[in-house]
Structure 1
Amino acid sequence: MRNLSKSKLIAFRQCSKRLWLEVHRPDLREDSAATQAGFKVGNTVGDIARQLYDPAGTGVLLDAQRDGFDTVFKRSAELLAFAQPIFEAGFVANGALAFADVMLPDEQDGKRIWRMVEVKSSTGVKDYHRDDTAIQSFIARNAGVPLASIALAHIDSDFIYPGEENYLGLLKECDLTPEAFGRDEEVREWIAAAHQIVAKEAEPEIGTGEQCGSPFACGFFDYCQSQEPQAEHPVYWLPSIRANVLKEHIAGHPALDLRDTPDDLLNELQQRVKAHTLSGETYFNAAGAAAALKAYSLPAYFLDFETIQFAVPIWKGTRPYQMIPFQFSLHTLDESGKLDSQAFLDISGNDPSRAFAESLVAVCGNSGPIFVYNAGFEGARIKELAERFPEFAPGLLAIKARLVDLHPITKTNYYHPSQHGSWSIKAVLPAVAPDLSYEALEGVRHGGMAMEAYLEAIHPDTSPERKAEIEQQLLAYCGLDTFAMVRLWQFLAGRNDLQF
């Protein structure tokens, strides 16, 4: 009988079919870019945790991938006889195995005991973390480890990086000992049930559902979905599926098509999406859109930000996961109908915040609407910059007060069947301005790619030639975002007299 890892048991807790596929068909797994980015973040936080829990550098880091599982299990048992921190110690018992992020020695009544710390890159304790610690503690104690306590260390979102590689205070511990130790029978049952699933010759017959994305996005989703009948007009094209009665109806009717979804379960916007998707006709309340924009005269500005965030801050004065703007694009339409554009982009690797704020104040003028496509996002970033740099606060807050959100105006007055229930600028643009395309861009075509490109640009190993290439790609991408807003505004306002 094979030993199941903690990650396999957590997969079982999410979906037994996922566990079976993890073991028997790992080749079908396709992790998203976001999932892969999450793995990298976890590794970064783990590196910092080792520094924090072993400031003297006396600890031992084990590597099962390099040395083999059996070697690490044996070495871990040997190291328990000594008083030094152990990282990635491995234990096996009762048909399961686990690797502990941090093992810290202590003493009680003259005997050595151990404290286990599981390190997570989240900013709080999640339900599946509690399962995680229950499994870890169960395996370790059944492997003979004199484990006295177990805690979960997560990122403290209030931590402000003081600089100089000082990350003391980045992690906050939550003791889960009583809860974790009290779930032994549950864990024992999970292990037994998981082994029964793995022993099956065929994968469990489980359809796609909410479990596919909770608590993790499953890398087998595309495979599982491909095995199911596909609706011509999938119900997930409906926007904002929040009502419990609608959720229950969808869960009870796999491959549900919009045409078979009862209208009385849908709100007004969902009914509109359904009706126009099935008819193939565009919904456009031209008078309503024009009226919503009539109050905003020229000159007008069209603004978009690109941001980056780090679980482990790299710039002094910033917090974990704080969204730091490193780029903006601004299109300006004056009273005569002349369109101009300006941009800011800092790929030096230094904190771009101050220069970003100063440049933004300089180019946004003193009056006129500033159109954005998510006022909550840009507004929050501007407010944060004002708090960080009081000298620019009056100008920044004045800009924030002038923001006008095109998103709700568009959502209220326009829908094309090709949007498939989305009002993102990338979903709306092909319908409103088919001559423009994000797919035609090189290198950077969406926000996730912009973040990846930025990280590559600021990496010290990136060549000047590649850095220059990335710079042009970022400028083109963000510039299209704001020009797309110009064209959308023109369409909604009915300003066919303007030519761009």
Structure 2
Amino acid sequence: MQNLSKSKLLAFRQCPKRLWLEVNRPNVREDTSVTEAGFQMGREVGEIARQLYDPEGVGELVDAKLGGLGPALARSAALLDSSAPIFEAGFAAEGALAFVDIMLPLGKEPKRSWRIVGVKSSTSVKDYHRDDIAIQAFVARAAGVPLDSVALAHINSDWLYPGNEQYRGLLIENDLTDEAFERSDEVRHWIAVAQNLIQERSEPKVGLGTHCHDPSKCSFLAYCRSQEPQAEFPIEWLPRWQNKSSRDLNGTEPIKDLRDAPDRLLSEIQKRVKAHTLSGEPFFDQIGAAAELAQFGMPASFLDFETIQFAVPFWENTRPYQQIPFQFSHHGLSQTGTLDHLEFLNLSGDDPSKLFAEALITACGHVGPVFVYNAGFEVARIKELGERFPSLNDPLTAISERIVDLLPIARRYYYHPSQEGSWSIKSLLPAIASDISYDKLDGVKDGSMAATAYIEAIHPKTSFKRRDQIRRQLLDYCSLDTYALVRLWQHFVGQIHHRA
């Protein structure tokens, strides 16, 4: 019998099929760049936590990747006789294996006990964190650790980083001792069921559902989808199909095809998507779109931001997970129809916020609408910049008040069957401007890739040649975002496009 790791038991808690695939068919797993970024974020928070809980640096990190599992378990057991913190200690018992983020000694020999602290990069305690802590406590106690208490530490999103690598206050600790200890029988049951499950010769029959994304997107989702009967017109193409009214569609027999969705339970926009998807004919109220856009006049700006967020703040006077804008693209359309382009990108490694704000004010000028797509994002970032830099608040607020969101206009007046229920720019572009494409871009093709590329670019060890390559990739990507908005606007008002 193999010892199931904590992560595999948590996979079992999410979905039995996920566990079976983790053990028996790991080759069909698909991790995305977002998943990898999450792992990296967790590692960064873990490093800071070790500094906070061991400021004198006397503790020891048990690294199973260096010496292997057996030596790591043996070293962890030996360190229980020490009086210093232990990090990533590993224990195995009753068919389970767990590595503990932080172990802190309490008291002295012969009555020394230990306190466990699990560290998470989230900003609150989640239900699956409680499962996580319960597993750690169970395995440690079953392995003979004299455990006094367990806690979970998570990010304090209200904390403001004072700079100079002073991170006290970054984490909030929650005591979960009573709850974790009371769940021992429950954890033992999970282990027994999971052990039997992985011995099955065929994978469990589990259909797709909300568990595929809760508490995290499953890395086997693409595989599981490929095993399901494929609807010609998937019900998922209905916008907001998972809200209450759409859940009523499913009942005891889930509806998988748009053709089977009763119109009486659909919103107007869902009816439109259904009707035009099935007919294959686009919907376009060009007169209505042009009339709504005509009120805003000229000149016009088209704007898009790229941002970065760090679980552990990187710059002074910023908060965990604060969206820091590092790049914008601005296309400007003059009264005469001339199109120009301005852009900002700071790869110095310093906080780009103030320079970004100043460049934004210059680029947007003082008159005319500022078109964006999904305005809530840009408006929130502009407001935050104004709060951080009071001397710039008035001109930034003036820009914010000129913002016009093209997304609701697109939803009201346009739908093409190729959108498959989505109004993202990437979904609209093939229908309205087939001559341009994100697929033609080199390296950076979406926002998550832009954030990853930015982090690489500002790293001190990144070469000048690689940084210049990333610069060009980021500029090309962000420029395409705003040029796509120009083309969308031109399509809606009935103008022939002209590229700068």
Query: Normalised by the shorter chain, which TM-score bucket?
Result: over 0.9
2:137 corresponds in structure 1 to 137
TM-superposed CA distance for 1:242, in Å, is 3.5
3-state SS of paired residue (1:116):
strand
Cα distance in 2 between the residues matched to 1:27 and 1:255:
31
Is the 1:28–1:223 contact (alpha carbons within 8 Å) kept by the matching residues of 2? yes
The one-letter code sitting in structure 2 at the alignment partner of 1:90 is: G
Q: Equivalent residues in 2 for 1:94-493 (5 A)?
A: 94-107=94-107, 111-247=111-247, 249-250=249-250, 252-253=252-253, 256-493=256-493
Please say if residues 209 and 251 of structure 1, whose CA atoms lie closer than 8 Å, have aligned partners that are also in contact. Answer: no
Q: State the 1:192 CA deviation.
A: 1.0
| Partner SS, residue 9 of structure 1 | helix
Query: What is the alpha-carbon distance in structure 2 between the residues aligned to residue 47 and residue 94 of structure 1?
Result: 30
Q: Distance in 2 between matches of 1:103 and 1:425?
A: 48
- The answer to which of 179-188 and 67-76 deviates more is 67-76
The answer to whether the Cα contact below 8 Å between 1:330 and 1:482 also exists between their aligned partners in 2 is yes
CA distance in structure 2 between the aligned counterparts of 1:175 and 1:250, rounded to whole angstroms: 40
Cα distance in 1 for partners of 2:307, 2:253 equals 40
Question: Within the alignment, does 1:89 sit opposite 2:107 as a pair?
Answer: no
Equivalence for 2:58: 58
User: Whole-Å Cα distance in 2 between the matches of residues 219 and 199 of structure 1?
Assistant: 21
Q: How far apart in 1 are the matches of 2:255 and 2:470?
A: 41
% same residue: 60
Pairwise CA distance, 1:308: 0.8
C-alpha distance 90-499 of structure 1, shift in aligned 2 (>3 A): closer
Counterpart of 1:262, as a letter, is P
Verify the 8 A CA contact 1:207 1:254 in the aligned structure 2: no
1:63/1:255 CA distance change after superposition, 3 Å: farther
How far apart are residue 482 of structure 1 and its match?
0.9
CA distance in 2, matches of 1:483, 1:75: 58
AA aligned to 1:2 is Q
How far is the alpha carbon of 1:250 from its aligned partner? 4.0
Q: 1:448-497 CA distances to partner (integer Å, 9 max, x unpaired)?
A: 1111221121111221122112111111111111111111111112234x
Q: CA deviation at 1:194?
A: 0.8
Between 219-228 and 372-381, the greater mean CA deviation after superposition: 219-228
Aligned-pair Cα RMSD in Å: 1.5
Measured after TM superposition, the shift of residue 311 of structure 1 is 0.9
Describe the SS at the equivalent of 2:387.
helix
Q: Give the superposition deviation at 1:109.
A: 10
**Structure 2 SS opposite 1:111:** coil
Give the Cα separation in 2 of the matches to 1:451 and 1:297: 34
Counterparts of 2:213 and 2:261 in 1: how far apart (Å)?
23
* Letter in structure 1 aligned against 2:41: V
Counterparts of 1:428 and 1:22 in 2: how far apart (Å)? 36
Q: Do 1:228 and 1:255's aligned partners in 2 also have CA atoms closer than 8 Å? A: no
Deviation at 1:136, TM superposition (A): 0.8
* Cα distance in structure 1, aligned partners of 2:173 and 2:66: 30
What amino acid is the match of 2:4?
L
Instruction: Give how far 1:70 is off.
Output: 2.1
- State the secondary structure of the residue aligned to 1:409: helix
Q: String of CA shifts for 1:399-458, please: whole Å, max 9, x gaps.
A: 111100000011111000011111011111111111111111112111111112211211
Counterpart amino acid of residue 214 in structure 2: S
Aligned AA for 2:191? Answer: I
The answer to whether the Cα contact below 8 Å between 1:12 and 1:18 also exists between their aligned partners in 2 is yes
Deviations 1:100-157 (A, max 9, x none): 0000011289721111000001011001001111111111111111111111010110
1:124–1:154 contact (8 Å) kept in structure 2: yes
How many Å separate the matches in 2 of 1:90 and 1:466? 39
The 2-side partners of 1:463 and 1:135 are apart by 43
Tell me the CA shift for residue 218 of structure 1. 1.1
1:251/1:229 Cα in 2 relative to 1: closer, same or farther (>3 Å)? farther
Inter-partner Cα distance in structure 2 for 1:456 and 1:253: 48
Which residue is 2:28 aligned to? 28
Is the contact made by 1:229 and 1:255 (CA closer than 8 Å) also made in structure 2? no
Deviation for aligned residue 1:241: 1.9
Aligned partners of 2:434, 2:78: CA distance in 1, in Å?
A: 66
Instruction: Point out where structure 2 has 5 or more consecutive residues left out of the alignment.
Output: none
Q: How far did residue 171 of structure 1 move?
A: 0.9
Over residues 262-313 of structure 1, what are the superposed CA-to-partner deviations in whole Å (9 max), with x where a residue is unaligned?
2222211111111101100001111221121121010111111111111111
Q: Report the Cα distance in structure 2 between the residues aligned to 1:136 and 1:251, rounded to whole angstroms.
A: 38
Judged with a 3 Å threshold, the aligned counterparts in structure 2 of structure 1 residues 264 and 255 are, in CA distance, closer, same or farther, namely closer
d(CA) in 2 for partners of 1:324 and 1:309? 6
What is the one-letter code of the residue matched to 2:351?
Answer: D
Report SS of the residue matched to 2:438: coil
Q: Distance in 1 between matches of 2:251 and 2:195?
A: 28
Secondary structure of the 2:219 match is: coil
Q: Mean Cα displacement is larger for which, 487-496 or 293-302? A: 487-496
Say how many residue pairs are matched.
499
TM-score normalised per structure 1: 0.97
Partners of 1:299 and 1:480 lie apart in 2 by: 20
Matches of 1:90 and 1:370 in 2, distance apart?
55
1:172, CA displacement in angstroms?
Answer: 0.8
Counterparts of 1:75 and 1:443 in 2: how far apart (Å)? 43
| Cα distance, 1:141–1:377 mapped onto 2, change above 3 Å | same
Q: CA deviation at 1:245?
A: 5.0
CA displacement at 1:251 relative to structure 2: 7.4
Give the Cα separation in 2 of the matches to 1:251 and 1:220. 26
Q: Is the 2:249–2:255 Cα contact (8 Å) retained in structure 1?
A: no
Amino acid aligned to 2:102: V
Q: Give, as a single letter, the amino acid of the residue that structure 1 aligns with 2:79.
A: L
Q: Which moved more, 1:262-271 or 1:244-253?
A: 244-253
Q: Secondary structure at the match of 1:117?
A: strand
One-letter code aligned to 1:12: F
* Cα distance in structure 2, aligned partners of 1:31 and 1:248: 32
SS in 1 for 2:149: strand
